[in-house]
Amino acid sequence: MEKKIRVLVAKPGLDGHDRGAKVIARALRDAGFEVIYTGLRQTPEQIAEAALQEDVNVVAMSILSGAHPHLFPKVVNLLHEKGMKDVLIIGGGVIPEADIPALKEAGIAAVFTPGTNTSDVVDFIKNNVKM
Amino acid sequence: MEVAKELLAGNRLALSRAITAIENEYEEATDIMKELYPHTGHAYVLGITGPPGAGKSTLTEKIAKAYREQGKTVGIIAVDPTSPFTGGAILGDRIRMNSLTLDEGVFIRSMGTRGSLGGLSHKTADAVKALDAFGKDIIIVETVGVGQSEVDIVKAADTTIVVLIPGMGDDIQAIKAGILEIGDLFTVNKSDLDGADKLVREINMMLDLDSLMTDWRPPISKVIASQGEGIDLLLADVGKHRQYIEGNGELARRRTKRAKDELLDILGAGIERRIKTHISDRLNGYVEQMKKHETDPYTLVNGILAEMLK
Ligand code: B12
Ligand SMILES: Nc1nc2c(ncn2[C@@H]2O[C@H](COP(=O)(O)OP(=O)(O)OP(=O)(O)O)[C@@H](O)[C@H]2O)c(=O)[nH]1
Ligand SMILES: [Mg+2]
């Protein structure tokens, strides 16, 4: 059996915008990945624990509400605390350009904003995932 | 990381890595299974099956919660279909189980079917063993949404619950052949909707017609999984079934059969691999001979087997 890229698509916080997350989940499935989708309103602790139990290679978070500066880094830290050091962590949604450098500094490998072509996301994962 | 040792010491990340190794058939998977095997056989395995959208995941969450309240630890394997076209999958069962994520006494793993057609994946049984060796008391296996022929769950589970819902119309006729025969228990979920009692009657009628009936008549319960109603009675039925099959030797028989099937499967796969490697140089030559009708495959196979198994 060939290795399959496993991705957790997660919606942290209280933000109810889930179209983007669903679009991404479907695009990743169509690219042949196994996508675990956990639905809306996940705490950073739930996301990190689900990532551990599912042994995913990628954690992909979507936020449109503006809560990313706090929530994204929190998930990164929790994943590292749990020993998930190789996991590729990416984010997307309504995220101002100005916030992106700090998120990258915090361990988010890439940030995808509105208008993103889903094939760019697929390519980024294929080129950067560690397995 | 010494995956098997860490798993046996209670490391959840190691458990997760072990399941990945098993699922992807990494080379180390055989060694991991060797180390885990002596520690298996303690968990009770509950299968949950039924048509798509019947509420299997919702019910799994509520059953797991109820066992947790009894102080038991729970492992869950939730299987969803892999697309035969792209090889990808959306594994969405966890959406219904979010309240269990932060309970350290529960471990949930989603699996894609990856080409297997029986409602589970080829590696589900080994993933169950990993949870068993980890020390889970109860392991719940949720199948993909099934039609009539996806009945592999009976090979993996000690007790199988078939979940049905009202309003399936004539569907119950269509599915009776397959999944109705494998239920140790039936439960009518979404009993808040019209038609639950009618469905109970229909299942009863079907059971009346079952000529293979033993002295265990599958009980039929009504639940509302989304509201947690009826779960206690359902678990009481599970307890009765467990007692029944433990008491009359049926559990031992099921597990003996499982062990035998497992041995023969692994043996068969091993022999196939060995023989294929052994004849790989000659394979094309054989095929050429067949194409020219100089010989036939039966003669060839007899020759190869005689040569290898002497
Ligand atoms: C549709 C929409 C809604 C719908 C949501 C329906 C749903 N179920 O998703 C409804 C009407 C419910 C809604 C409600 C609200 N909304 Co609204 N909504 C929008 C709108 C117009 C479009 C969002 C959308 O669905 N786009 C389509 C999807 C496919 O695109 P996307 O999510 O951007 O995703 C793409 C990329 O960003 C990227 N991506 C996204 N996530 C991820 C994740 C990963 C891992 C990757 C790789 C890529 C990726 O890839 C996707 C494909 O290209 C935006 C404005 C906008 N133009 O973005 C406002 C917007 C997001 N909403 C906004 C607000 C304020 C609200 C409300 C608070 C309004 C109110 N006062 O009631 C509520 C809150 C709802 C809630 N519970 O959270 C603001 C947020 C402001 C902010 N960030 O500071 C926005 C930006 C509008 C604005 N300009 O003010 N909204
Ligand atoms: N009315 C009603 N809806 C329910 C009940 N239980 C579950 N549901 C709903 O049924 C839908 C499907 O539930 P799931 O638990 O995902 O069903 P499933 O059988 O696991 O689905 P698949 O895994 O996709 O086959 C969800 O919208 C649930 O909220 C119930 O008792 N009553
Ligand atoms: Mg389900």
Other C-beta atoms closer than 10 Å to the C-beta of A70 total: 12
Residue with tokens 């397959």: B178
Does residue B278 or residue A75 have the better pLDDT? A75
Residue-level pLDDT at B202: 87
Does residue A63 or residue B203 have the better pLDDT? A63
Does residue A28 or residue B167 have the better pLDDT? A28
Alpha carbons B201 and A103: distance in angstroms, whole number:
59
Contact B23 A35 (CB under 8 A): no
Mean pLDDT of B292-298: 94
Residue-level pLDDT at B205: 85
Pairing of strands B44-49, B138-142: parallel
Return the percentage of chain B with pLDDT > 90, whole number.
Answer: 76
* CATH number assigned to the domain covering A6-126: 3.40.50.280
Cite the beta strand spans of chain A per DSSP E.
6-10, 34-37, 58-63, 88-93, 110-112
Instruction: Among A3, A33, A37, select the one facing B88 at the smallest CB separation.
Output: A33
pLDDT band at residue B61 under the 50/70/90 scheme: very high
Residue-level pLDDT at B146: 81
Alpha carbons B265 and B269: distance in angstroms, whole number:
6
Handedness of CA B294, B295, B300, B302 (dihedral sign): negative
Instruction: Measure Cα distances from B218 to B170, B237, B240 in Å.
Output: 21, 9, 10
Q: Where are the domains of chain A?
A: 6-126
Please name which of B110, B70, B107, B195 lies closest in space to residue A35, comparing C-alpha atoms.
Answer: B110
Atom of ligand 1 nearest to the CA of A117: 53
Question: Quick one: three-class SS letters along A83-111?
Answer: CCCCCEEEEEECCCHHHHHHHHHCCCCEE
Q: In chain A, what residues touch B112 (CB-CB under 8 Å)?
A: 4, 34
Cβ contacts of B183 within 8 Å, gap of 6 or more: B160, B161, B162, B218
Alpha carbons B112 and A34: distance in angstroms, whole number:
7
Q: Is the pTM of the predicted complex or chain greater than 0.90?
A: yes
Residue-level pLDDT at B66: 98
Q: Residue B130, CB half-sphere, CA atoms under 13 Å: how many?
A: 34
Residue B87 at interface with chain A, using a CB cutoff of 8 Å: yes
Which superfamily is assigned to B40-248 in CATH?
P-loop containing nucleotide triphosphate hydrolases (3.40.50.300)
Residue-level pLDDT at B177: 64
Closest residue, chain B, to A2 (C-alpha): B24
The answer, yes or no, to whether residue B280 has pLDDT greater than 80, is yes
Alpha carbons A60 and A66: distance in angstroms, whole number:
16
Please name which of B210, B205, B202 lies closest in space to residue B182, comparing C-alpha atoms.
Answer: B210
Mean pLDDT of chain B, nearest integer: 92
CA of B3 to the centre of ligand 2 (A): 36
Other C-beta atoms closer than 10 Å to the C-beta of B279 total: 15
SS3 for A77? helix
Instruction: Measure Cα distances from B228 to A40, B166, B214, B222, B223 in Å.
Output: 21, 17, 31, 11, 8
Alpha carbons B124 and B120: distance in angstroms, whole number:
6
| pLDDT single digits (tens) B242-276 | 999 999 999 999 999 999 998 998 899 888 888 88
Residue-level pLDDT at B6: 97
- Which mean pLDDT values do the consecutive 10-residue runs of chain A (131 residues) have? 88 96 98 96 98 98 96 98 96 97 97 97 97 84
Mean pLDDT of B203-214: 77
pLDDT band at residue B93 under the 50/70/90 scheme: very high
Closest residue, chain B, to A40 (C-alpha): B95
List the beta bridge partners of residue B111: B79
Q: In chain A, what residues touch B110 (CB-CB under 8 Å)?
A: 34, 36, 54
Q: Where are the domains of chain B?
A: 1-37, 40-248, 264-308
SS3 for A124? helix
- Please give the structure tokens belonging to residue B154: 């009976």
The answer, yes or no, to whether residue B279 has pLDDT greater than 80, is yes
Residue-level pLDDT at B117: 84
Residue-level pLDDT at B80: 95
Residue-level pLDDT at B256: 94
